[in-house]
Amino acid sequence: MSQKEKTELGIFKKIILFLKSKRFRIHFIISILAAALILWASFKWLGIFTHHGETIVVPDFSNVKIEELDKFISDKQLRYEIIDSVFEAKVKAGVVIKQDPEKNSSVKQNRIIYLSVSAKLPPLVKMPNLVDASMRQALALLESYGLKAGKRDYRPDPCVNCILAQTMKGKKIEAGTMIPKGSVIDLVLGKGQDGELINIPCVIGLTHKEASEKIAENGMSEGSIICSDCKTNADKENAKVYKQNPGCASDALINPGTAIDLYISVKISTTPADTTDDE
């Protein structure tokens, strides 16, 4: 056996003797206990730091004013961040309209609640050019731009039901003018030459919304709306027409722009045709 091999064998024997010694066993046990203690302390600290097992029920932020949010959340161990501002014509300005997480969700302490609020001012949109368009085209354009059709005035013109002018608050408004979204645009339409008559559109069985669109598209105006069982605006829009005045007989002719009265009901799902002019 060479000297090198003898040296290596001697080192190996010393290692084996050390591993069998009482000193090694004591150090090994102490190391295991120390590692276990460190792991236990780490998990304990992590649980305290993250509030493991502790949750908070998210409150309802709906309709809370922006300026009152700090006070509202001060005792709730939560934070908030406004991430979006959306204009809603039917919602009060400057209040919370959406939150994430939703109300009654369980979250950890100090969680950020992301909020969307209603804008105080509507965004501006460009006024489209409606002149020379048909009523159907004008209504579609106004809707796509977030605008509303207002009053309709009919004047003698060879182009029946064509848009002759567009106005807002009594003043002519040029295409491209920046105006608030949701603005009401009044329209001037052609009604043909004096004495020219047109057919009456039949809207029996349509919802009020559908009937209004069809009446406008055919160069008529909406008259009185009679609904005895409509309790909300949604009811009124979805109620169906069971009678109209003037009626829509096949040979009935009237002047363009004539108002058509509608009798509607939310309880009627199927309506018989009614062409009578009397109530």
The overall longest dimension of the chain from CA atoms, in Å, is 131
pLDDT, residue 191, reads 76
- Cα separation, 156 vs 37, whole angstroms: 95
The predicted-structure confidence for 151-190, as pLDDT tens digits, reads as follows: 888 888 888 778 999 999 999 999 999 999 889 999 998 8
Same domain, 61 and 86: yes
150 and 86 in a single domain? The answer is no
Same domain, 34 and 72: no
* pLDDT above 70 (res 47): no
| Contact in structure between 97 and 141 (CB atoms under 8 Å) | no
Q: For the residues 240-269, what does the mean pLDDT come to?
A: 83
Bridge-partner residues for 244, per DSSP?
262
At residue 3, the pLDDT reads: 67
Q: Rounded CA gap, 138 and 140, in Å?
A: 5
| Domain closes at, from 143, 172, 196 | 196
Are 80 and 138 in the same domain?
A: no
Domain boundary among 97, 118, 139: 118
Flag whether pLDDT at 277 surpasses 60: no
- 209 three-state secondary structure: helix
Q: Are 257 and 212 in a shared domain?
A: yes
- Name, of 65-79, 243-257, 258-272, the range with top average pLDDT: 65-79
Residues 151 and 109 in one domain: no
190 or 145, which is more confident: 145
Instruction: Check whether residue 192 and residue 221 sit in a common domain.
Output: no
User: What is residue 279's predicted lDDT score, i.e. its pLDDT?
Assistant: 40
Question: What percent of the chain stands above pLDDT 90?
Answer: 34
Average pLDDT along the chain: 83
Sign of CA dihedral 52, 58, 59, 61: positive
Domain boundary among 136, 162, 196: 196
- Mean pLDDT (whole number) for 91-106: 91
Q: What is the DSSP string of 61-84?
A: -TT-BGGGHHHHHTTTT-EEEEEE
User: Same domain, yes or no, for 36 and 21?
Assistant: yes
pLDDT at residue 268 greater than cutoff 80:
no
Given a cut of 50, whether residue 248 has pLDDT beyond it is yes
Question: Over the stretch 28-37, which tens digit does the pLDDT of each residue have?
Answer: 888 888 888 8
What is the reported pLDDT for 52?
54
Domain count, the chain: 4
pLDDT band, very low/low/confident/very high, at 147 (cuts 50, 70, 90) = very high
Poorest-confidence range of 1-5, 93-97, 134-138? 1-5
- Predicted TM-score of the model (pTM): 0.53
CB-based contact 155:181 (threshold 8 Å): no
Higher pLDDT, 89 or 179: 179
pLDDT digits (tens, 9 = 90+) for 218-239: 777 788 899 988 888 888 888 8
60 and 104 together in one domain: yes
Range of the domain at 113: 56-118
Answer yes or no: do 174 and 201 share one domain: no
CATH number of the domain that residue 86 is part of: 3.30.10.20
Confidence of residue 51 (pLDDT cuts 50, 70, 90): low
Q: Any idea which of 23-27, 59-63, 105-109, 174-178 has the lowest mean pLDDT? A: 23-27
